[in-house]
Amino acid sequence: MSSSEQSARPGTIVVHSKRRWVEFFLLIVAWGVGYSGYLLTEINMNGAVPANWKVVGGVWLGLIMVCHIVVRIFLPYADPMILPIVFTLNGLGLAMIHRIDMAGHPNPDRMTNQAIWTLGGIILWAVIVVWLKDHRKLQRFPYILFLAGLVLMLMPLLPGIGREINGARLWIGVGPFSFQPAELAKVLLVMAFASYLVDKRDVLSLAGHKIGPLTLPRARDLGPLAVMWGAAMAVIVWQNDLGTALLFFGLLVAMLYIATERVGWVVVGTLSFAVLAVVAYKMVGHVAVRVSGWLHPFDNFSENFQIIMAQYG
C-alpha cells in the first residue's frame, strides 16, 4: 500500500497529525533547554543578558523549525521523539562549550566551530532525507558502505591532516576545524552490517553446524561479515581507540542475535569478550591504566583527571 493510500484513511491522518504536533511541542521544549543554557551561562559569567540574545534565539529556533518542516514533508511517519532528543543534546552541548570558551581556554572559538558543524550536519541530514526516500535501497550496497566506512576510519592515519591526541590518532584537521571521521564511519559500518544480515538472515538462522547446544552458521555465510568486522576492528585497535572497539564488538553480537534469534551468539560473544579483555589488560598498557583508574581513581590525579572530574560533576 502506498503512502498516499495510507494517508487517505481518516484514522491515519489523525495519528499522523498528532505525531507531528507532539514533535513540534517537544522541539519547542528542546529549544528552550538549549537556549536557556546559553542565557544562564552569559548571566552567570557576565551578570547580564548578551546583546545578541534575540539573534541567537531566533537563529536556533529557525534551524529547529526548518528541520521540523522537512520531517513533516518527507518523513511524515517518523518517530516524533528522535529530532527533539537530538536538538536537546546539541543545545546543551553548545551551551557547555560556550561556558568553556568564556573561561578563557586556549581555543575561544569552540562554540562557533561547533555551531558550524551543527549547521553542516543539518544540511547533510536534509539532503539525505530529501534524496533517499526509501532507506531500504541501501541494503543493495553492504560492501560499498563498508569500504566507505573503512576509508573514513583510515583518514586520521594520513600525513598532514591526521591528528594524535592523548595517544589516540582519531582526528583529522583542516584549518581551524577538526573532527573524528570515525563518528561517520560508525554509521556506515552499522548500515553495512545490517544490510548483510537482512540479506542473509534465513541462512544464518537455519543453516549451520551444531556444536553441543550451539548451532553456528556456515563459514561461507558468516565469512564476509567476519571479514568486514575484523578489518574494522583491526583499524580501531591500531588507532588505540579501544572504547570504539568494545562498542563495535557488542554491536555485532547484538545484531547477530536480533537477526538470528540465537541465544548462542550472546554466550559466544560474552565468553569472547572476557578472553579478549584479559588479553588486552595483560598486553596493552593503555587498558591497564584505564582499569586501574576505574578501580582507584584518586591514586593518580594527573592520570585519572577526567574520571575524578566526572565524579565531582
* 208 CB-near residues (< 8 Å, 6+ apart): 215, 216, 217, 218, 221
Report residue 159 CA to chain centroid gap.
Answer: 26
Rg (C-alpha) for the chain, rounded Å, is 23
Would you state the pLDDT for residue 195?
86
In a domain, 190, yes or no: yes
> What's the pLDDT score for residue 125?
92
Q: Is residue 82 part of a domain?
A: yes
Q: What pLDDT, on a 0 to 100 scale, did the predictor assign at position 83?
A: 94
| Whether residues 7 and 128 fall in one domain | yes
Pairing of strands 209-211, 214-216: antiparallel
Would you state the pLDDT for residue 11?
45
Residue 94 backbone phi and psi in degrees, to 5: -65, -40
User: What would the grid cell of residue 176 be?
Assistant: 581551524
Count up the domains in the chain and report the number. 2
Long-range contacts of 54-60, Cβ-Cβ distance < 8 Å, separation of 24 or more = 60/31, 60/34, 60/35, 60/91
My answer on whether 128 and 190 are in the same domain is no
Domain co-membership, 117 together with 12: yes
Position 99 in a domain: yes
Which of 114, 133, 152 finishes a domain?
133
The C-alpha atoms of residue 85 and residue 16 are separated, in whole angstroms, by 19
Is 18 a member of any domain? yes
Q: What is the pLDDT of residue 285?
A: 72
* CA–CA dist 257, 269 (Å, integer): 10
Question: Does residue 229 belong to any structural domain of this protein?
Answer: yes
**Residues 196 and 295 grouped into a single domain:** yes
Domain-located, residue 275: yes
Q: Which of 133, 154, 175 is the last residue before a domain boundary?
A: 133
Q: Which domain holds residue 235?
A: 186-312
Q: Does residue 253 lie within any of the structural domains?
A: yes
pLDDT tens series, the chain, 313 aa: 444 444 444 444 444 556 889 999 999 999 999 999 999 998 988 888 888 889 999 999 999 999 999 999 998 888 899 999 999 999 999 999 888 888 766 566 778 888 888 999 999 999 988 888 777 788 888 888 888 888 888 888 777 777 766 666 677 777 666 778 878 888 888 888 888 888 777 766 666 666 666 666 666 666 777 777 777 777 776 766 777 777 778 888 888 888 877 777 777 778 877 887 788 778 777 777 778 888 888 888 877 888 888 888 7
Q: Is residue 77 part of a domain?
A: yes
